[in-house]
Structures are given as C-alpha cells and as structure tokens.
Amino acid sequence: MFDPTDLLRLARLYAAAEGVSLHTVGRRACAGNNRVFRRIEEGHGANTRTLSQIETWFRANWPQNAPWPADLTPGPLAPRRRRKNPNDDSSPAPTGDVSCAVAGNS
C-alpha cells in the first residue's frame, strides 16, 4: 500500500491532468470526503481503510493522458473490456450445436 505522501502526490498529478482541485479529487476518490488530501497535507493523515480505498480508486481511474509515476508500483489497472452488445452483428454466429452439459453417468 502506498503511504499518504505518495497518495497526495498522485492526487496532485491527477488534479493537474483533469484540471480539478484536490478538494474535487478527494470527493471523487474517497466517497465524498473532500478534506482527505488537505488533512494529509497538514500531517493529520487518514486511516488505513481510507488510504487503501484511495489507492484502489487511483489505480482504477487514472487518466489516460497522464503518466503514472515510475517509482510507484503497481501502476494503474488495465481498462476493463466491455461486453459485446448482443445486437452487434459484427461477429459471426456460432456454427453447430453448442452444449454446456457436464459429462457424467446419466
């Protein structure tokens, strides 16, 4: 887990990339806690659960236009792949009989 100063650095980088304030980053990253980064700046810190939540949020929501700091690993999570729309005709339909039966004594 990252320490509070690393999370504050990520918050500043995120804020610069998104053009928002640390107040807004805190609200986004920490379920509405817009004071969390101000508290870290002032040396008050935050509890372990909050810090873990913030780290996970940054990894899942890191802007694509901002480089992740090389000294902080692991980096951002890979973007989720979207499920195909069932109405999308771009992929060929399966041919033959598709069975999901389990082999056993029947």
Nearest to 6 by CA among 40, 31, 33, 38: 40
Residue 15, in any domain of the structure: yes
Q: pLDDT tens digit string along 11-61?
A: 999 999 999 999 999 999 998 889 999 999 999 988 999 999 999 999 999
Give me the number of domains the chain comprises. Answer: 1
> Which tokens in the block code for residue 44?
């008050």
CA dist 94 → 23, 33, 85, 91 (Å): 51, 49, 16, 9
User: pTM of the entire structure?
Assistant: 0.70
Q: Which domain holds residue 23?
A: 4-61
Q: pLDDT tens digit string along 60-96?
A: 999 998 999 999 887 777 766 556 666 655 555 444 4
Residue 86, in any domain of the structure: no
